[in-house]
Chain A
Amino acid sequence: MSNLEKYQSIFKESFQYDGDVEQLIYQAIPDWDSVGHMQLMAALEDAFGIELDVDDIIDFSSFKKGITILAKYNVVI
């Protein structure tokens, strides 16, 4: 599984969402609320073996923005 596929599946599983995850932004769907956000961050940390900084967790406001943030941790999507 590529990093992109892994990244997409984490969004789908975290939010139980079958739509186009690449267009997702924070609070665009009911499950991506503050609690869902923490579940997403935890799932990403576990999947990619990283620990996200607080500022990056706050900045992580969309699927696309997340790709930029993960690159800082040498996770290339």
Chain B
Amino acid sequence: MTLPLEFDINGIKACQRNRHPLLFVDRVFDVIPGEKASAVKCFTYNEWFFPAHFDDEPNVPGFIQVESLVQTFIMSFLSQDELRGKKTNFLSINNVKFKRKIVPGDTLTVHATLTSFRRGIATGSAVSFVGDAPACSADFVVAVPDILDQFKPKGAA
């Protein structure tokens, strides 16, 4: 295995469980499992949400920008062999900032950093750019329920 890792769309689908129409990374690169990941997402007018958001001014909804961030973030740990293909749940999203509108034709580049992964709880952050212009950023806490459940108390004493 040569680091850093890269994943095409099939590699991404092998690592994480998001699927069309809710998969918002096209290619993942510069991955150091357990440390960081970067990704690109190319937005074209063929995206399902542009006609609805908005018909006269198409732009990427905020929740989809956040999904692009977190889907890059989870690749920083789901790229580890023992975690590949596991489902994830949000525990918290903090400090979300939107800096610019993302429109058809824009390519979003995301850089995510894993601060810690402890017993199924991942903490970290991600920032995105269109070209050199900051687009969106957020801090995340994400759970891997399969791992988390291994540490649940069996009963009260």
Contact = CB atoms under 8 A, between A and B. Distances in A.
A64 interface: yes
Which of A35, A57, A64: most chain B CB closer than 10 A? A35
Given A35-B121, A38-B121, A61 B153 contact: yes
B157 interface: yes
Interface stretch (B11-19, B56-64, B98-106, B144-152): B144-152
B151 A41 contact: yes
Interface of A: 25-28, 34-35, 37-39, 41-42, 54, 57-62, 64-65
B119 A26 contact: no
6 contacts: A26-B153, A34-B149, A35-B143, A38-B120, A38-B151, A58-B154
A8 B33 CA distance: 37
A59 B157 CA distance: 9
Which of B120, B148, B153, B156: most chain A CB closer than 10 A? B153
Contacts of A54: 150-151
Contacts of A35: 91, 121, 143, 148
B118 interface: yes
A35 B118 CA distance: 11
Given A34-B149, A35-B148, A57 B119 contact: yes
Nearest to B118: A42
A27 B91 CA distance: 18
A60 B151 CA distance: 10
Given A34-B148, A54-B150, A54-B151, 6 more contacts: A25-B157, A26-B153, A28-B156, A35-B148, A41-B119, A62-B157
